[in-house]
Amino acid sequence: MPLATSGALSMSAIHVEAEGSPYAHSSIVSLNDTNVRGLTPASGYTINSTANTTISIGDFYGASSAVAMSTTNNARLSSSGNTTYVNRSVTSGIVFINLIQDFRLRRQDNFVYYETKTQFPGTWYNTSGTGSSLGSTYVTLGTFNLGGITSIKMDWSVSSTGTGGASISGNTSGTSATYSASDNSFQTVSNGQSIGARFVVTASAECYNSNIKLGTATMTLTAQKTGYLDTTLGAYKHQMRAAATSNNCF
Amino acid sequence: MKIYTNTTYEIERNEAGESVSITWTFKHYDNYTLETQSKVIDVDGNTQDFEVEVVSEDDLAATKTATYIIPEADRTTLAKGESHPHNHENEIAFQEKYMKWWNDWEATL
């Protein structure tokens, strides 16, 4: 249980958190003790892990002995560019383009897999930025490397340019997920269960018009398990571009 | 989460009638519904049903504009035809210019 985030903070409380036991009283605690310096700081705080460096009691507000889960990223994160990209151009008398990308976060002990697939061919980029084919079969973009994870969530946002629609919503039928994901809301899952969401980008054109819709979905995945910090797999950027061109008018 | 954007544009021309800049106006809506509409799909008048996004002005979230200065080499005196019958060659030629402007502007984002 994390330390208090405000008010009085005792050396004893810090010791208990560092020892991970309410009965931790057998040794005299020092702010230079390895396990004290090893506590995970709360967001916005820093605990210097090197003994004899400057530290204050206030640095321990909200600190916890819990550690983050181990994760593995296979794909490029949003901070470095697109994680996936789908581009489809259609020219005809009348054009309606509907691009679909499915996301699934699936617990299969001892992992939770972040997976995606697309209706039309696209590209996914690994951590080195090398592109590989993306299509109608799920590709694993990253994993939480831990069994027994109890809750998972997808946190998404969508932006776009150009004429057309862009949407993201929870989905089970297209994603083959157990539960429909709800934005930024944890879903309890047991082994073998999953949550899913669908990203759709649309563009249409008629009577010699040209419309291009570039939709971007940013997806952040987080998992929960007792004894661990809530851990984020990363923020992934998924982009789809639909270019509709009409070459006639009826 | 659903967003929809309607785009219109205005082209500024010089005295010779050449396009010197294009300003797009983007109306961003934070919701839309899908409506089935029948559309004519060929010269024989055959129709097909399509799901079309329909927006309400109540859902208008923002209106933004963007202006692209058209390089001299990409300017044209052509304009999109607004009435039947359309001049196919004119429409396709203008469309190629328009797409070039759009793609070059998009690349700057």
pLDDT digits (tens, 9 = 90+) for A94-116: 999 999 999 999 999 999 999 99
A43/A98 same-domain check: no
B81 close contact with A: CB closer than 8 A? yes
Which residue among A14, A47, A65 closes a domain?
Answer: A65
The answer to whether the Cβ–Cβ distance between A169 and B1 falls below 8 Å is yes
**Cα distance between residue A20 and residue A2, in whole Å:** 11
Question: Of A239, A229, A238, A218, whose CA–CA distance to A71 is shortest?
Answer: A229
Closest residue in B to A168 (Cα) is B1
A93 close contact with B: CB closer than 8 A? yes
Which residue among A38, A65, A92 closes a domain?
Answer: A65
A98/A34 same-domain check: no
The answer to whether the Cβ–Cβ distance between A156 and B1 falls below 8 Å is yes
A133/A213 same-domain check: yes
> Which parts of chain A fold into alpha helices (H)?
11-19, 34-37
What ipTM is given for this predicted complex? 0.90
- Give the closest of B95, B106, B109 to A210, CB-based: B95
Phi/psi for A145 (5° steps) reads: -100, 65
Cβ neighbors of B25 (< 8 A, separation 6 or more) are: B7, B8, B9, B10, B63, B64, B65
Q: How far is A250 from chain B (nearest CA, A)?
A: 6
Q: How far is A126 from chain B (nearest CA, A)?
A: 23
Q: How far is B89 from chain A (nearest CA, A)?
A: 10
pLDDT at A24: 53
Two tokens, residue A146: 């831990």
Two tokens, residue B66: 């963007």
Two tokens, residue A47: 């605990």
pLDDT tens, residue order, chain A (250 aa): 788 888 988 888 888 888 766 655 555 678 888 888 988 888 889 999 898 899 988 999 988 888 889 999 999 999 999 999 999 999 999 999 999 999 999 999 999 999 999 999 999 999 999 999 999 999 999 999 999 999 999 999 999 999 999 999 999 999 999 999 999 999 999 999 999 999 999 999 999 999 999 999 999 999 999 989 999 999 999 999 999 999 999 8
The answer to whether the Cβ–Cβ distance between B7 and A211 falls below 8 Å is yes
Q: How many domains does chain A have?
A: 2
The answer to whether the Cβ–Cβ distance between B3 and A163 falls below 8 Å is no
A151/A219 same-domain check: yes
A57/A112 same-domain check: no
A13/A35 same-domain check: yes
Q: Residue A36 sits in which domain range?
A: 1-65
The answer to whether the Cβ–Cβ distance between A249 and B91 falls below 8 Å is yes
Which residue among A35, A65, A95 closes a domain?
Answer: A65
A170 close contact with B: CB closer than 8 A? no
Tell me the pLDDT tens digit for each residue of B63-96: 999 999 999 999 999 999 988 899 999 999 999 9
The answer to whether the Cβ–Cβ distance between A208 and B2 falls below 8 Å is no
